[in-house]
Structure 1
Amino acid sequence: MRRDQRQRAEDREIARIAVPAFLALVAEPLFLLGDAAVVGHLGTRELAGLGIAATVLQTAVGLCVFLAYGTTAGVARQLGAGRRAAALRQGVDGLWLAVAIGVPATLLVGLGAAPLVALFSPPASVADPAATYLRIAALGIPPLLLMLAATGVLRGLQDTRTPLVVAVAANAVNLALNVVLVFGLGPAPRLGIAGSALGSVLAQSAGAAVLVWIVARAARREGTSLGPRRSGIAAAGRAGVPLLVRTLTLRASLLVTTYAVVLTAGGGAAGAVPIATHQLATTIWTFLAFALDAIAIAAQAITGRYLGAGDAAATRAVTDRMVRWGVVSGVVTGLGLAAVSPWLGALFTPDAAVRDALVPVLLVAAVAQPVAGVVFVLDGVLIGAGDGRYLAFAGVLVLAAYAPVMLGVAALGAGLPVLWVVFCALFMGGRLVTLVHRSRGSAWLVTGSDDPSGRRAA
């Protein structure tokens, strides 16, 4: 009976963290969706320009996701050890690291907007609006990184509701500002695509200011200094390097997959069908990943706290529980995706060829959902444990095995469904094997307030 009560308590805690985290994750892409909805009314070339600029921005910000993940793990570990002041000190270090990365990134992207856009070889009619949007939107990189870091602090403190509220409010402000500044309502001038970029920067800055203020207020209550601390910023940076490598390997694997699809597509109008189909399938896969990644965020926060409290047995027990959550969630999303696969394509395209080609790909993706559920959970567990070095090693290993096989299969002329089978079986399967292997051992179960990634207790 006590075991049932414990499991119910674990389920409630996982849900308390995961549900708001999922809603916040879904809210994040709405910034660009809001921009696209408004900019699309300006014209096709502006919308295409936004797509190129958004790719650059998403890459720059996406590579810095370690600001959230690493901060969550470190803060949760200190919290579990009963060192709330030290937890917030690490959180403040993470905020300063976000500034240290964000300012030069803004200069690089803003000043290099035109050359970065030119890498995509767009026509001049698309390159001009893309560069215009990117120059202004680059000012939003520091706020976006601050939002990542502050969100990581709050997740580490077991609070996922506050980032959700701020994300929803910032998206509402973003949409309103886009409408006003793009079309020039009231006293505001009509700025076109530049207005969309400016509106996003203002909304992102407001969201970052709120989250940073919340973290700063909590730090002041604990008597924690808000000033920059060189050793703390450097330690946060070192801890983030393995997670950066992990992220690079994941993105490289996805790029290899896309390249393989293009390689097999061929030329002419018919060649656009598999590429468009792959893009839609990837978009749907990414959306479903939000649901599964929410449990991973709960895993980061809970694992770090339990290990910080020195309770390895409870960490193992709650990990097993979260893996079951991952399996169940994966089965649910897989069955749902399989059920709607014949009709889902109609929501995105009127092209019957793309809709027909999408169905078998989605069925392959549906079968892989339970595997994805376990992979995301264990990834979150090991991030929460500060086991970034192993995650980096495993990412490089899986990429080294996956890339030549995928490119070899593409060279043989395999169709899109076969390429997705290789993606799910070898890439996701490889991640599953490496993560399960690690989780069954005890090397990652390092207890206490010192972060195994290299940060010492403050």
Structure 2
Amino acid sequence: MESAGPASTPLDLSGRRILGLALPALGVLAAEPLYLLFDIAVVGRLGALPLAGLAIGGLVLAQVTTQLTFLSYGTTARASRFHGADRHDDAVTEGIQATWLAVCVGAVIVVIGQLLAAPVAGLIAGDEEIATAAVSWLRVALFGAPLILISLAGNGWMRGVQDTARPLRYVVLGLGLSAVLCPILVHGLLGAPRWELVGSAVANVVGQFVAATLFVVALLRTGVSRRPRRSVIVAQLQLGRDLIARSLAFQACFLSAAAVAARFGAAAVAGHQVVLQLWNFVTLALDSLAIAAQALVGAALGAKDTRGASRIAWRVTAWSVLFAMVLAVFFLVGRTLIPGLFTADDAVLDQIDVAWWFFIAIMPLAGVVFALDGVLLGAGDAAFLRNATLTAALVGFLPLIWCSLAFDWGLAGIWTGLTVFIVFRMIAVVWRTRTGRWAVTGADRQVHADDGTGG
């Protein structure tokens, strides 16, 4: 029988401990984007139409599952407190209830998704052939939605008990199987049927099934009661509500930025997309340290160690800023080389150069924001993060994006908006962390007041 493992007593704040949690988490975060690039390369050999169908179908599925990441981050916050309080069964129970929630919500997504797949794909694609291709992929891929959510829940509770190694193994095994099956089923290799675009969706679902099964088996082996508990599920949904609102604010900002960039012409939107994808890579790297902060802060507060939680907060922030500065130097040195890896078009390169200096300048600030986001998420302070993100979006990012369109500021205006967004969020999370009002101790004090001010 597997156990959740012992809590760290006293708190281990060494660089080795932080990296021991962060590096496997980074592997999990990076595994899916890397697989998606491989999937695109495999399907791309079929031609432009299947590739466009994959792009539209993948966008629809991603938009749905991205809004439900609270199953991972929220579960980490709650499970880590019980882990710190040495209540291992309760920590695992968070994973069990999150898994029940994942199954139920995932089933609803499958049903509604099948009904809406064609009209939604048609609306986004704006082309009947592309929409038809997207729907053929999406109808199969939707069956993976519950499996994706189960894996999110599994990642959540395992991070909460400070086990980031097993999730990495499970995710890599599942995606590895998908990577083997994808070219076989898409192109009909080794005597397999040639399913083309649908083969990509089947390969994805098979890999997701393997990963989800491993997470479920890990739960079953703990021996903890598997019955649904309404009170726990309701508490998870309360935390999830705030995280979903926060996620929607991000979506509104970045979709608006893409829409405005497109109105400045093909070169502008292409340049914006290149730098934005690199920004996504940076945020992925910084998020791994934020996950370590979540797990450690939650455990400290569960153990009623506010001083330890505060030390973790600033220690991880220092690591995150240092890492961000290393990345900034890397991209500064590669300013003339890296953009050329993505395009040889002079007009696009000129637009990339406009955004590049903003991209480099905000990295150290992002190091602070992501680390303290992780700290406050680990403390269950999601209501404050919701309010801070919505305020920064409505007061900073969105007005500057639309002013960029009105006054023809181009990418400089859009990336100024992103910079202001990061600065506002940094001010908010630094202030909140310094007040100490987030440091609510005890395993059962896990959701702060809805106004985002109490603790």
- TM-score under structure 2 length normalisation: 0.93
> Cα 1:110–1:30, aligned 2, differ >3 Å: closer, same or farther?
farther
Q: Cα offset for 1:348?
A: 1.9
% identity of equivalent residues: 37
Residues 1:418 and 2:422 aligned together: no
Report deviation, 1:292.
0.5
Structure-2 residue corresponding to 1:152:
156
CA drift of 1:350 comes to 3.2
Cα distance in 2, alignment partners of residues 292 and 358 from structure 1:
22
Whether the 8 Å CA contact 1:110–1:136 is kept in 2: the answer is: no
- List aligned pairs for 1:44-443, cutoff 5 A: 44-218=48-222, 220=223, 224-263=224-263, 265=264, 271-402=265-396, 403-424=398-419, 426-443=420-437
SS in 2 for 1:342: coil
**Could you tell me how far 1:73 is from its partner in structure 2?**
0.7
Query: Aligned to 2:335, what secondary structure does the other structure show?
Result: helix
Moved more, 289-298 or 401-410: 401-410
Shift of 1:408: 1.5
Q: How many residues align?
A: 439
The structural deviation recorded for 1:9 is 4.3
- Does the residue aligned with 1:274 lie in a helix, a strand or coil? helix
Query: Which one is further off, 247-256 or 384-393?
Result: 247-256
Contact kept? 1:34, 1:174, Cα under 8 Å? no
Q: Secondary structure at the match of 2:336?
A: helix
Residue 253 of structure 1 deviates from its aligned partner by: 1.7
Distance of 1:29 and 1:197 partners within structure 2: 16
1:278-321 alpha-carbon deviations (Å, 9 max, x no partner):
11111110011111000000011001000000000111111111
Residue deviations 1:70-110 (CA, integer Å, cap 9, x gap): 00010000000010011111111111111121111111222
Is the Cα contact below 8 Å between 1:68 and 1:152 reproduced in 2?
yes
Note the alpha carbon deviations across 1:380-415, whole angstroms, 9 max, x for none: 100000001111111221121021232123210002
1:312–1:8 distance in 2 versus 1, CA, 3 Å: closer
Which amino acid is 2:237 matched to?
G
Q: State the distance in 2 between where 1:35 and 1:437 align.
A: 43
Tell me, in whole angstroms, the C-alpha distance in 2 between the residues paired with 1:238 and 1:422.
30
**In structure 1, distance between residues paired with 2:410 and 2:11:** 45
Compared CA separation, residues 454 and 92, structure 1 to 2 (3 A): farther
Q: Which amino acid aligns with 2:117?
A: A
Paired residue for 1:268? Answer: none
| 3-state SS of 1:28 partner | helix
Which amino acid is 2:322 matched to?
V
Against the structure 1 CA distance between its residues 404 and 360, is the aligned structure 2 distance closer, same or farther, given a 3 Å change threshold? closer
Matched residue of 1:444: which SS?
A: coil
Distance 2:210 2:129 in 1: 32
Show the 5 A alignment for 1:38-49. Answer: 38-49=42-53
* C-alpha distance 212-136 of structure 1, shift in aligned 2 (>3 A): same
Q: Which residue of 1 aligns with 2:452?
A: none
Rounded to whole Å, the distance in 2 between the matches of 1:183 and 1:232 is 46
Q: Which consecutive residues of structure 1, in runs of 5 or more, have no partner in the other structure?
A: 1-5, 266-270
State the SS of the aligned residue for 1:448: coil
Partner of 1:16: 20
Q: Deviations over 1:128-171 (max 9, x none)?
A: 11111111101111000100010011100101111112222222
Change in CA separation of 1:179 and 1:121 when aligned onto 2, cut-off 3 Å:
closer
CA contact (8 A) 2:110 2:145 kept: yes
Q: CA deviation at 1:187?
A: 4.0
Residue 349 of structure 1 aligns to a residue whose secondary structure is coil
How far 1:274 sits from its partner (Å)?
Answer: 0.4
Alpha carbons 2:404, 2:410 under 8 Å: kept: no
Q: 2:3 is matched with which residue?
A: none
Task: List aligned pairs for 1:438-457, cutoff 5 A.
Answer: 438-453=432-447
> Which letter maps to 1:92?
I
For residues 217 and 136 of structure 1, the distance between their equivalents in structure 2, rounded to whole angstroms, comes to 31
Counterpart contact for 1:80–1:305, Cα < 8 Å: yes
Deviation readout 1:170-224 (Å, 9 max, x if unpaired): 2211111111111122342111101110110111111111122112212x1xxx2
Q: Is the 8 A contact 2:74 2:240 kept in 1?
A: yes
The answer as to whether partners of 1:74 and 1:451 remain within 8 angstroms in 2 is no
Q: Give, in angstroms, the shift of residue 259 of structure 1.
A: 2.5
Paired amino acid for 2:239: A
- Using structure 1 for the length normalisation, give the TM-score: 0.92
- What is the one-letter code of the residue matched to 1:191? W
Q: Aligned to 2:321, what secondary structure does the other structure show? A: helix
Corresponding residue of 1:3: none
